[in-house]
Amino acid sequence: MLESPFRGLRWQATEPGINLLPKPIQVPDFPAMSVLPDLSAAVGHTPLLRLRQASALTGCEILGKAEFLNPGGSIKDRTALGLILDAEKSGKLRPGGTIVEGTAGNTGIGLALIGASRGYRSVIFMPDTQSREKIDALRVAGAEVRLVPAAPFKDPRHYVHIARAYCESLNEASPGSAWFGNQFDNTANRDWHEATTAVEIWEQTKGRVDGFVCSAGTGGTLAGVGRALKARKSGVKIALSDPTGSALANYINRGELVAEGSSISEGIGSSRVTANFQNAPIDLAWSISDQESVPLLHQLLREEGWCVGGSSGVNLAGAIRLARALGPGHTIVTVLGDAGTRYQAKLFNPAFLREKGIPVPAWLDQAFPS
């Protein structure tokens, strides 16, 4: 067999017709790839991405933590792992047990995948209003999915209350057989983000982070990262980017749990103060409309190639606001929580967007002609 004369060469792109032959070029040395022992070890350690358009717009370095690169596709893999490790340590989750949780979807996906890798089965309760993509992802992950009608938290038919009651019924029949994750009020959620997510951000920015901003569902990410960054650098600004329809921004700014408006975003916003959100060190808070956040998602995809979900648009809008509040020259970190493909029927559906009064870019109309 003849050996290729091009073997071992790196390919360099050229303009058509100028040079069709490969040329060896210098490439940087990359660190050796790691071998991970299991799925849990693959959670976290996500890169920070420089968001070019937002950075140019504000004169700040705006960086997005690429949490959609977690094995289950979202930042909630971190939450799931933190909750499971804490439950195993305390003996609440026993070998062969059943994980029960109420979730808008992503935490359930993380629990199901990490749970399966550690020998647990999962039963997930979620509102039937959540995206079909997330519901299907849960089922593919091996979870037993039970959809319930959406209801306010004060209603006993709220998905979290139903999940808790179901877990209690399993333990009544077979003591110690099931564990309720309780992501909203189990502060192992917040503690895990404080111990891992925040440390990664600090190390990746070499301590030169001036502000952190994200939305809150359980509040674990915002509170945990905020606490850890404040402990390392008291002057860092922590901000809440809250979708309209949530009461948290009004709670921070006015001390009132009053929700105004609505949003197509999923998994973020709240009508109550969870145990994880309680006493979060928040300096600033904004209410972000879909008309502000969704176009940022479309621009990020079209101009920078990042396809991320609705919470990321809310987070990016908050990062731009925080950058403007601090002024040029600062480093702002936010979270790109999951992939936009989990919300394709909403975020990238021209008819749906028009129905909600959200601008539709021309390229999206061309991609999905009516």
* Among 194, 185, 205, CA closest to 229: 194
Of 76, 134, 237, 346, the catalytic one is 76
pLDDT tens by residue, 164-218: 999 999 999 999 999 999 999 999 999 999 999 999 999 999 999 999 999 999 9
Residue 8 has pLDDT above 60, yes or no: no
Mean local confidence (pLDDT), 214-237 = 98
Residue 33 has pLDDT above 90, yes or no: no
Of 158 and 30, the structure prediction assigns the larger pLDDT to 158
CA dihedral 55, 223, 78, 104 (to 10 degrees): -90
Residue 7 has pLDDT above 60, yes or no: no
Residue 265 has pLDDT above 90, yes or no: yes
β 98-102/178-180 pair status: parallel
pLDDT, residue 363, reads 96
Residues of the chain with CATH 3.40.50.1100: 46-71+194-359, 76-180
Q: Any idea which residue has 């299991």 for tokens?
A: 38
* Mean pLDDT score across all residues of the chain: 92
Structure tokens at 363: 């390229």
Distance (Å, whole) CA 348 – CA 302: 12
What are the beta bridge partners of residue 148?
127
pLDDT, residue 231, reads 98
Residue 21 has pLDDT above 70, yes or no: no
Q: What is the DSSP letter of 205?
A: T
Banded pLDDT at 46 (limits 50, 70, 90): very high
The alpha-carbon radius of gyration of the chain (Å, integer) is 22
CATH code assigned to 76-180: 3.40.50.1100
pLDDT, residue 277, reads 98
CATH code assigned to 46-71+194-359: 3.40.50.1100
pLDDT, residue 162, reads 97
Other Cβ atoms within 10 Å of 296 Cβ, number: 22
pLDDT, residue 27, reads 54
pLDDT tens by residue, 87-144: 999 999 999 999 999 998 899 999 999 999 999 999 999 999 988 998 999 999 999 9
Catalytic (active site) residue 76: yes
pLDDT, residue 29, reads 64
pLDDT, residue 370, reads 75
Residue 30 has pLDDT above 60, yes or no: no
Mean local confidence (pLDDT), 228-243 = 98
Q: Is the pTM of this model over 0.85?
A: yes
pLDDT tens by residue, 304-342: 999 999 999 999 999 999 999 999 999 999 999 999 999
